[in-house]
Structure 1
Amino acid sequence: MTAYLDREKLGEWIRRERKKKDLRQGDLADSFLSQSAISHIESGKVHVSKEKIEYLLEKLGLDKSELDHFLIPDERLEEESLYEELKLKLVAAETIVDLVDPEEGLNCLRSITLPQNHLFQANMEYVKGKAFRIKKKWDKAYDHFFQSIHLVHATPGLKESNIESACFHELSFIEYSQNHFHRAVEFAEEALSTFQMNGERQYYYDLIRISQVIYLEKVNRIGEAQKILDEMARGKNHFPSLFLSTGKEASLNAYEMQTRFLQRGKQYPQAIDLALQGLELARIDKMYDRSFELLTTLGSIYIEMNKLHLAECCFKTALSLKHKIKRGYLLAYVYNELGKLYDKQEERDRAEKEFQQALKYSRKNNDLYREVDALLGLGEVFFHQGKYDQAVGVLNDALTLAKLHSLNEKVNRILLLMGQCLVKMGDPKFQDIAMDFFYVNMKSIEGGETMRGPFKRHAAGDPPTG
């Protein structure tokens, strides 16, 4: 039976024990354990390493064995967490295989350790097959695709994944590439016959059908090919994308926007599911910018869920596409999110480096919204490091930009953080900041300010054009 730490209950107990000893958080802070880390431990809402928790117990004169009282056995929780992590790693590997480099994707797959007889084994063999198919190593690709098909048959419940159908489609492509047109037709028929109409990877249906047309034309079965085209034209495939559009760019733009709206409403499972759907479509159509953007948004969702290792996986996968993207402002987006990730992990130097990168790319691309984000992030990093003068400096720059373009939500955050810095410094200008904060919010309540200004707010990519 596995167990996990109930961090919220543990934090409540530590807070009570600290107060019994009449100690403040600051009394226990030192170079290894910051005051913010102690606050995170007591709230239980942000992951702090077990080593730091044990160190805090030691400083409070408490036995480390007390942690055992807060361990809750839960095999299901561990299984769900492992499933989510493995699924994301396989999505990342397939993205790299398709959009970056098949060998690099294979290296990612080699780093994934699957439990024996895990249902993702078939998926892993399928992705390996794709990598070798792209490398034109036909025999190895064949082996992996047939091994995947075998695993689908041996694993209950995998039919709906449509991995079997996908493998047959990939095999038909291999035969076609070697001018074995009749074999290509046979594998395409297998792909269609094994396709589950209500299963996953629905995009394969159209790929299979149009491939059939190409193969049939090569073997001079023109009538059958024409019949398939006629059926497709009449819309008999019944597989429209969630956001049907004549333009792929517009469709993926809709996925990104809807994902963000779900994220703002804290509907995280729905947001993740939609982001993964959009990412799948972007990968298929080699839409590098949209893949980059959706991966970054997915990572930002995982940060909010405190699943920081999954967030880092998303950002690293996005950055593997860095040299393929055209929209430079997207780099400011991912570096800002990386800065937030490292700041949350209390890796301040790394966080500062990422925010500086975000600042560089936001200014290069005249993205004022991301520039304010980067400056605010730097201010928070400096604040956590006790560098209050530096924090106030960058926050002043952020405040100027945010006020100029009526970014009231940003203005509030900046003023609050500046106020905290000035209080720490004992600076009397704190009163001016407090009054500024009051007037900004009073105007907002009265409806006296609106969002206006000539800035480019790249919240979800440029709107699609014809």
Structure 2
Amino acid sequence: MKKYRLDRIELGKLIRETRKAKKLRQQDLEDNIVSQVVISNIETGKTDVSEQKIIYLFNKLGLKEEDMSRFYIDEEKINQEEVNEEIELRLESIETMIDLADPDQGIVELRSFPLPPGSPYIVVVHFLRGKCYFFKRNLKKAQKHFFEAIRCINDKHTDMISTNLKSLCYYYLSRVEYLQNNLHQALEYCKKGINTFIIDGKRKYTKHLLLLGKSIYFQKLNRLEDAQTVLNEISHNALPSEKTGSIPYEIESKEVVLNFVELQATIWAKGGMHTQAINHARKGIALARVDKAYDRCCELWTTLGSVYSEKGNLNLAEICFLTALKLKDKIKKEYLLAYAYTQLGDLYSKRNEFSSSGEYFLKAVKISKKINDAYQETEALMGLGNCYVKQGMHDQAVQCLHKALELARQHDFMKQKNQLLLMLGHYLRNMGNSDYQRYALDFFFSNADAFFEGGEQPMLYGPTKQHAADPPDG
């Protein structure tokens, strides 16, 4: 037989509201059964008043007895809610530890986490296991758990769709592909995440993560107009009264805001909007400094330096790059160092300071290779090859540029591939090497069909190398 518990707090609110609606004081209802103190205790939901007295006051106010029934709650339901609250709190505790302290300990705790059979919280457990392995860079296991969480939602626990964990799993799957340099697949997962996002659900920040990821992947694929469109959507949704391009301070995550600022500055710089890019980056630096966001601060200083370098203000650019590198002992993401080293290498190459230039490019190549960042490694090898070209170091130049071309082909970096084919063809022709014809034909066949079938013109040259920001953690 079911047991029921009286929800004294909600019932007390109704009694108080009814009394006030009738313009009665507590003293007006006082008699030999309920005193003013008892009435006050009933209205505030105190537990030391008998149900008989509550029912008596309820009737005295002229309320209908059938209205009383809705304040009785199934004990079993209450107990289950209490169990669920404990499960949710413990899982939140584990997620905090995974994100801020130790993913290894998170794996240990999740393995022994007690879940009742058929519990919908298995979705959260798989998601958190995926995060653990993602942070440990065991991408295969991470991918497995994210897919399992999605499968559980689709097949067994459709009520968990409101948690937005399905969308968040797609976000992390996009990052798994991003780390493996599969940009097109990363973009597809972001789109899936956005399509499955529940506006009124939990983890509302997920939408901004997905949009930022989508913009970053567009940028990496040199689809700058598409990247800017997505940034405009983020800004418009966060601050509908502000003009596009403003810093969306109302986004809950400061990390997302800083990521937005860096990406917007980069895209503006690529579009030649240097003044706007500089102002935006400097605002972001101030935010990152105040919040002690070391990684984003390093990234923004490097982005600012790249804009100054593009403008020809090499002294100001050098200040920015060296400032970024002063934070190297504080940052966690090594790709930021590769980015800064590549930019410094490019700057010193422009000054014909080839010894320093080569040194920084080599550092960038080493780090990029270590962390499997093919995009940045390609950029660094292109810069190093160009540095060797300027010094007349023919064999080293061809070797570097050819390595960069292999990476660009492997990962479908079309802009870099086209630039490298032209660089190698032009350089070898000037050297009198007939191999230049092979690169010229490769360039022709890579672009001719798309061009004459109505596709976009081949992307050959553009602004100085610009970095694509790393998506934030969720």
**TM-score band, normalised by shorter chain:** 0.3 to 0.5
Q: TM-score, normalised by structure 1?
A: 0.46
| Higher CA-based Rg | 2
